[in-house]
Amino acid sequence: MPARQAIASGLKRRLLLLLLTPLLLLASLNTWFDFRSADSASLQQDRQLLSLVPLLSASVVARGATETDPPVMLMAPPIEDFLNQRRGLAAFALVGRYGSVLLGDLWLSGMPPATGEAEFSSQEFDGVTFRIVSQRMKTPAGELVLRLADGSDPRQQWLRRLWIKVALPNFILVVAAFFAVNWAVRHALRPLLALKDAVERRSPRDLSAMDAEGVPEEVRPLVESLNRLFDLVNAQAESQRSFVADAAHQLRTPLAALQAQVEAWAQAVTSTAAQADPGRVYMENTPPVLVDIEHTAITLEASQVYRLRQAVRRTSQLANQLLALSRADSRSAHIQPVQRVDLQELCEVMLETHLDAATAKNIDLGLEAAQVHASGHTWLLRELLSNLVDNAIRYTQRGGRVTLRCGWGVAPDGSAQPFLEVEDNGPGVPEAERVHLLERFYRVPGTLGEGTGLGLAIADEIARVHSSQLQVLQGQGGCGLRMRVCLPA
């Protein structure tokens, strides 16, 4: 999961950053443009107000009757329209020299501008922001300050509504865009993540080509180069495997010769000893054997011949097992068609094969076989079972008990599943050592057997070919080992 997040956040962060930064910039730019356009709108308003000022001045037709009376006005139609159209949102005032309102809305009082130029100001009244123009002008009623106020234009509402009207839509847009982009990025990355999962799920042994279908075309070159790499590694592994297989195979011919010779000597020793004293076949001081090589006789102790034979047998076994391992390992095992294997028959054959070895150690080799079939490769399963039985007999003490079992077990999903099992009541293996048990050439420290350290590795390899694995369990009653393989039905 951390890896998944790393890939996702890496690419996602970049995409989000690259998409959202320009978007934010655009939104800010948009806000700024809105400000600007509002600004120009307010300029127009000022101009309109300014254009109305002379008309207002012209509307003043005469002084009031007395000094305190307001001047007489005859509203010019544009002013009339202006005030009528914006009822409540427009106002005017004629302000005297000292700031008092002579005529119009009283709230528009205030000191007159210092110069003759028009002055603009903003003022809030009754909850509405008004734009106000003030200008001193000569009128028939003397010099007056003319004031016009307009509260109808957005310009005046603008500062208050700026955030709601301009910034908020932009903000919402950015947030929506963030979610949209986030969603889009996640969906766009989905095939890539699926690809990564597919690579991650692979067993280290599976080097078959990956499916380039359904992969985005930008990623296809990546998949193709991965496949090329797989091919390369495959070819290399395959050549290594075939080298081991060839080497083991080539070794077996001279070994067969060597073994045939040594077996014959050992046979000669045994029969000589048996003739001399049938009861002492296994004794130490059997007579030496004469080996006649090109008429030069050398003398070998019987025990030396036996040791020599044992060494040769062990070397032969190693060559055989190396060959078996490289065969089980190879991809050819995966390619061969799956057969229906009679596990009961397989167990019976294995029992017969190993009966002599078990009898020699006085081991009770027994069978608990139910009628069950599995799908697999017969020769591989025979090799697997043979290694398990061989191992059990090898490491179980004299007089021990080894049981071959097959039947229906329970799969993790609750369905019935065929299994093969070999259990012994030997010394067993400490919990800590069990994890290493399936490693190649691993031997439990302190064991004196004659094993090659390959038997269980081969069994496990074969189990893997059958999409399973070798389970190392404790024997019933807490002693010995129980090796179990569940197989596809």
Partner 1 sequence: MRLLLVEDDVMVASGIKLGLCGAGYAVDWVGSAERALEVSRTESFDLAVIDIGLPGMDGLELTQVLRKEGRTMPVLILTARDALQDRVQGLDLGGDDYMVKPFELPELLARLRALLRRSQAATSATLSFGPLELDTALRQACVRPTGAAGPCVPIELGPREWTVMEYLMLQAPKPANKDKLLQALTGWDKEITPNAVEVYISRLRGKLEPHGLALRSIRGFGYRLELLAPPPDAAPAPTAGA
H helices present in 162-219, as ranges: 168-201
CB 308 within 8 A of CB 316: no
56-73 per-residue burial string, b: 16 or more CB within 10 A, e: under 16: bbbbbeeeeeeeeebbeb
Minimal distance, residue 440 CB to partner 1, in Å: 20
The helix/strand/coil state of 407 is strand
227 versus 303: smaller Cβ distance to partner 1: 303
Minimal distance, residue 342 CB to partner 1, in Å: 14
Minimal distance, residue 464 CB to partner 1, in Å: 20
In single-letter form, the type of residue at position 245 comes to: A
Minimal distance, residue 461 CB to partner 1, in Å: 16
Distance CA 349, CA 341 (A): 13
Minimal distance, residue 260 CB to partner 1, in Å: 2
Report how far apart, in Å, the C-alpha atoms of 259 and of each of 121, 262, 317 are.
117, 5, 11
In single-letter form, the type of residue at position 254 comes to: P
Minimal distance, residue 282 CB to partner 1, in Å: 4
Minimal distance, residue 199 CB to partner 1, in Å: 35
CB 429 within 8 A of CB 442: no
150 versus 423: smaller Cβ distance to partner 1: 423
Minimal distance, residue 489 CB to partner 1, in Å: 22
105 versus 345: smaller Cβ distance to partner 1: 345
Distance CA 450, CA 466 (A): 28
3-state SS string for 447-487: CCCCCCCCHHHHHHHHHHHCCCCEEEEECHHHCCEEEEEEC
140 versus 449: smaller Cβ distance to partner 1: 449
User: Residue 165: is it exposed, middle or buried by C-beta count within 10 angstroms (0-12/13-18/19+)?
Assistant: middle
Minimal distance, residue 222 CB to partner 1, in Å: 40
153 versus 329: smaller Cβ distance to partner 1: 329
Distance CA 404, CA 255 (A): 31
212-226 per-residue burial string, b: 16 or more CB within 10 A, e: under 16: beebeeeeeeebeeb
Minimal distance, residue 203 CB to partner 1, in Å: 26
70 token code pair: 């307001």
CB 305 within 8 A of CB 289: yes
41 versus 257: smaller Cβ distance to partner 1: 257
101 versus 302: smaller Cβ distance to partner 1: 302
Interface residues with partner 1 (CB under 8 A) are 249, 252-268, 270-271, 274, 278, 281-282, 284, 286, 302-303, 306-307, 309-310, 313, 316, 319-320, 323, 348, 351-352, 355-356, 359-361, 364-369, 378-379, 403-404, 450
105 versus 348: smaller Cβ distance to partner 1: 348
Minimal distance, residue 278 CB to partner 1, in Å: 7
366 versus 409: smaller Cβ distance to partner 1: 366
100 versus 285: smaller Cβ distance to partner 1: 285
Distance CA 353, CA 345 (A): 12
123 versus 330: smaller Cβ distance to partner 1: 330
The helix/strand/coil state of 206 is coil
CB 463 within 8 A of CB 384: yes
Which residues touch 437 (CB under 8 Å, ≥6 apart)? Answer: 429, 444, 456, 472
Minimal distance, residue 244 CB to partner 1, in Å: 16
338 versus 367: smaller Cβ distance to partner 1: 367
Report how far apart, in Å, the C-alpha atoms of 41 and of each of 48, 156, 370 are.
11, 11, 96
User: Residue 471: is it exposed, middle or buried by C-beta count within 10 angstroms (0-12/13-18/19+)?
Assistant: middle
Minimal distance, residue 319 CB to partner 1, in Å: 8
102 versus 404: smaller Cβ distance to partner 1: 404
In degrees rounded to 5, what are phi and psi of residue 389?
-70, -45
3-state helix, strand and coil shares in percent for the chain, rounded to the nearest 5? 55, 20, 25
Distance CA 227, CA 50 (A): 79
